[in-house]
Amino acid sequence: MARVYTPEAHHSADAGDRERGGLLSRRSGGRMRGVFGRWGGEGMWRRGWVLAGCAVLLALAFLLHAEIPNSIGNLGSLWETFLPWGGVLVVVLLVLAVLRRSATALIALLLPALVWVNLFGGLLTDKTGGNGDLTVVTHNVNAENPDPAGTARDLAGSGADIIALEEVAGEQKATYEKGLDASHPHHKVTGTVGIWSKYPMKDVRPVDIKMGWPRAMRATVETPKGDVAVYAAHLPSVRVQFRAGFTAEQRDGSAQALGEAISRDRTGKVILLGDLNGTMNDRALAPITSQMRSAQGAAGDGFGFSWPASSPMARIDQIMTKNADPVSAWTLSSTGSDHLPVAASLDL
């Protein structure tokens, strides 16, 4: 049956559409007011004072990290070792502040965020440049490396002029010599550390870092740009234990001894390659870091974490220089070790 159009029906339909539209608008508006209403008013300023206090404490922990005492379990050094990861705590507090709907906490979070950016923002930019006069690599090859031959092959093909190795186990020494001597004919192994060079070396000797057995050495490398003192070092390991805390006392003493040896070196240009079992932020390495530059910090891209190789969380393998300018710094691909090799190009 055909529907008959009448003006009354048309007006009735329009009224129905307006009523349905108004209802949808009121529902949508109600939901929006509900969302923003929970943030509005004085409540958003009254909530979250505990979170705001945590944000201020975190900002102070960033800003005054060097003042956190080491007298209790080397807590200060432990915090400084993983200091960049403190940014994760900022994110956690941000999520909690949003869930708490606290404007007070959100504003307070600006403090640790700004301090973190001030400390590490420069590392987030790519500062790598071109090729320098000298390319160096350091790698803790791991005494239990299941493929030392493959590791040596990778390092030989890295393009480095000088290679320093740490944790060279006695039974694997010949394997590294066989894999590296063709490309780097000048080499010396002292204890469990070694230096391989494309250029002649002289004045090669162990460096006493107060361990009772040799885990550091130095050599003068005769580069085309002049003599360079090259140190290879493997500082004592550190552990985090429930009762003892961050056990780093032996590492700290070795860092002091190594720093003194470098300060007495009169070669002019000095390069330190090694596994220092500490980051540039750790105050315990100040005897070294106070007189040398980090290649990664000066010319790297990102944080350059090197350990553990499977999921790097800290850069404890360092390339540092004195009177030589880093041009580029980077990490190499994983080998059979639990550390990543790190490399740098230097301008002499």
Quick: pLDDT tens for 66-104: 999 988 888 899 999 999 999 999 999 999 999 999 999
pLDDT digits (tens, 9 = 90+) for 148-168: 999 999 999 999 999 999 999
CA distance 348 to 339: 28
Q: Is the pLDDT of residue 243 over 90?
A: no
Q: How far is CA 27 from CA 34, 87, 175, in A?
A: 10, 40, 75
Beta bridge partners of 36: none
In this structure, what token pair is assigned to residue 41?
């008013």
| Residue range 128-150, pLDDT digits in tens | 988 899 999 999 999 999 999 99
- Domain boundary assignment for the chain: 43-124, 134-347
**Distance between CA atoms of 310 and 21, rounded to whole angstroms?**
58
Q: By mean pLDDT, which of 14-18, 76-80, 228-232, 250-254 is the weakest?
A: 14-18
Q: What is the CATH number of domain 134-347?
A: 3.60.10.10
Spatial CB neighbours of 50, under 8 Å, sequence gap ≥ 6: none
241: which strand partners? 245
Reported pTM = 0.84
